[in-house]
Amino acid sequence: MATTPRVILFDVNETLSDMSALGSRFSDIGLAPELSTLWFATLLRDGFALTASTDNVPFADIGAGALRVLLAGKSINRPLDAAIAHVMEGLIGLPLHDDVPQGIVALADAEYRLVTLSNGSASIAGKLFTEAGIRVHFELLLSVEDAPAWKPAPESYSYAATRIGVEPAEILLVAVHPWDIHGAARAGLNTAWLNRGNGTYPPHFAPPDITVTSLRDLPAALSVPR
């Protein structure tokens, strides 16, 4: 990074919220909990396909549509529409990852400006933060629903920069998803990969500027001179 960013832009789904709870929603309807991983990959695959074909469709619509396809013909313990609704309700009520509240408070104390940019709706992030008592630390909660395109299209990140009122190079994007790191890097932002699971970074994406395994470690990682 050329300079230390003053704005930290967070991805929301899985970066701040803990989506492992969605596995139990699949168990509830009579299926293997591992299906939640395939469902989320499919949701993003279809969302990015729509982005590539220059469309911008609400995240929840694709989530429900991908479920309708995935559950067709499978043995579930309730009517299809009820099963879809049960999984989709799970997306709204996710908990935060354990490291998030302390990490957010530490970054706010260090006077970073904190903003979110989600491919989902801003209201889900708002609910999540309010319930955890950390809503006050976020200056803005943004969604690609108000942008020209989903992340990782360049227009999504420039939309955020414009809304925040800073240059892309003044922002640090924090995400668990390598595709988000890649898109942000292409759009001129600084990037931090939150690698909680000690995973492998895909070689086909632009590498992050910083890697941390917990949000609690980000303030210290940012204070190191580069």
CA distance 118 to 151: 8
Q: Which is nearer to a second copy, 12 or 153 (CB)?
A: 153
Closest CA to 157 of 198, 197, 200, 206: 206
Closest CA to 162 of 136, 122, 124, 189: 189
Considering the rule CB under 8 A, would residue 147 count as an interface residue with a second copy? no
List the x/- string, 17-56, binding to a second copy by CB under 8 A.
--------------------xx--xx-xxx-xxxxxxxx-
151-190 binders of a second copy (CB under 8 A):
152-154, 178-179, 182-183, 186-187
Judged by CB under 8 A, how many residues of this single chain contact a second copy? 43
Considering the rule CB under 8 A, would residue 199 count as an interface residue with a second copy? yes
Tokens (6 digits) for 186:
């292409």
Tokens (6 digits) for 6:
């003053």
Q: Which secondary structure element, helix H or strand E, spans residue 198, and what is its range?
A: none
Q: How far is CA 167 from CA 112, 137, 173, in A?
A: 15, 21, 13
User: Is 187:205 a contact under the CB 8 Å cutoff?
Assistant: no
Q: Which is nearer to a second copy, 48 or 163 (CB)?
A: 48
Considering the rule CB under 8 A, would residue 79 count as an interface residue with a second copy? no
Contact residues toward a second copy (CB under 8 A) are: 37-38, 41-42, 44-46, 48-55, 57, 61-62, 65-66, 68-69, 72-73, 149-150, 152-154, 178-179, 182-183, 186-187, 198-205
